Amino acid sequence: MPLEIEEILNTVQINYPPMLDALMQRITDPQLDNNEAEWINPVAAIGLAIKKDSVPPPRTVVQPGSLITYTLYYTNVGKVLAVETVLTDTFDLEGDYTIVSANPPPDEGNNIWHLGALAGRESGKVEIVVQVNDPLPNGWELTNQAVLYSPIDKAYWSEVLTHTVMNTIGPEPVPMVDLVDKGLRWEPTRPTAGTPVRFYGSINNEGDRAADSPFWAEVYIKPAPSLPPTRPADHEMGFCVGTVCDRYSFLARPAGLPAEAGAELLFQGPGLSFPEECRVYDIYLQVDVADVPNDNPYWGHYAEADESNNLIHLAYMTPCGPEGPPKVFLPIITSGGK
């Protein structure tokens, strides 16, 4: 039933069709004005509503260091008292902004308001001001959502508000680092199982600002099929057998990289090989790996102009024994003729 319905009108009508008695006389209702009754029942509807807005408006661009004001509007749109109502703001999980103020102040932590009992049609709002962190990468998304809950009803979520970060000063872009994986090769080019392998990763800085401090790059060798790292702090650690991984031989740390320049990094060391014969391996090269807690776990050492080009993936199958992959011979069968 729609929540805007406040009353239900009930109508009852009674009557009977014309009849004849034993003497064939017509029987009718002597009083027709009392054959209908009406009464009204108020609707005891239960329902909460939440809406979230922001300044600047959602789906717009913000700059590092700027302010965003979130306003949460909550209402008991029903007729029944909503008890133990709680409003929770779910801030950006990546911690991309800092809370400057909240009005009224939260009752628990920095994001929970115990609103208590909300009468029917009672409403209110909470205003939160946050400051966007600086630095942040270009194209980085900031999100915010809230939920309103009472034990008498289900949880109601607001829409997710999203803002996109762009580094500009007025109309001009800010110079930024942009580390890009350009290629990966290895020597020997056709290694057998267990043979030590040297990997060479090509990395360019396609940004207009120098990468002027050391950063990490990493090579991962995983039996296929495998999953790549999902973010800079998600280390798919080299070759893993069970739960034992060794990635320390597979790290390189350049001192830096000038703008619009490139370098080829060498990865070598004990254990850097393809362990099993006749096996397909995934090889990943990731640049700007996060050294937590010194680097940001979500975008690494540098907040870059583009964070989507820091990982490449190749595959390699080790030879199957000294004679290469197994061969299958099928006889040629002919019918008739010579």
Same domain, 138 and 216: no
Same domain, 295 and 186: yes
Quick check: 210 pLDDT over 60?
A: yes
pLDDT in tens, 259-268: 999 999 999 8
Question: Using an 8 Å Cβ cutoff, are 142 and 162 in contact?
Answer: yes
pLDDT: is 36 or 150 the higher one? 150
Q: What mean pLDDT comes out for the span 288-309?
A: 94
| Cα–chain center distance at 167 | 22
Name the one residue in this structure whose structure tokens are 């069709």.
17
Quick check: 127 pLDDT over 90?
A: yes
pLDDT in tens, 50-83: 999 999 999 999 999 999 999 999 999 888 899 9
Same domain, 201 and 305: yes
Residue range(s) defining the domain that contains residue 166: 48-172
pLDDT value at position 241? 52
pLDDT value at position 40? 65
**DSSP state letter for 30:** S
Q: What mean pLDDT comes out for the span 133-147?
A: 97
pLDDT value at position 238? 59
Q: Bridge partners of 261?
A: 205
Distance CA(206)–CA(173), nearest Å, equals 15
Q: How far apart are the first and last CA of the chain?
A: 85
Question: What is the residue type of 120?
Answer: G
Q: Quick check: is 28 in a domain?
A: no
Reported pTM: 0.77
pLDDT value at position 327? 46
Quick check: 242 pLDDT over 70?
A: no
Assign 250 a pLDDT band (cuts: 50, 70, 90). Answer: confident
CATH number of the domain where residue 73 is located? 2.60.40.1530
Assign 188 a pLDDT band (cuts: 50, 70, 90). Answer: very high
Q: Quick check: is 2 in a domain?
A: no
Q: What mean pLDDT comes out for the span 181-189?
A: 96
Same domain, 142 and 193: no
H/E/C letters for each residue in 144-162?
EEEEEECCCCCCEECCCEE
Question: Using an 8 Å Cβ cutoff, are 48 and 72 in contact?
Answer: no
Q: Quick check: is 249 in a domain?
A: yes
Number of domains, the chain: 2
Q: Quick check: is 218 in a domain?
A: yes
| Cα–chain center distance at 43 | 40
Q: Quick check: is 18 in a domain?
A: no
pLDDT value at position 318? 95
Cα-flanking dihedrals φ and ψ of residue 249, to 5°?
-80, -10
Task: Calculate ∠ Cα 258-259-264, nearest 5°.
Answer: 55
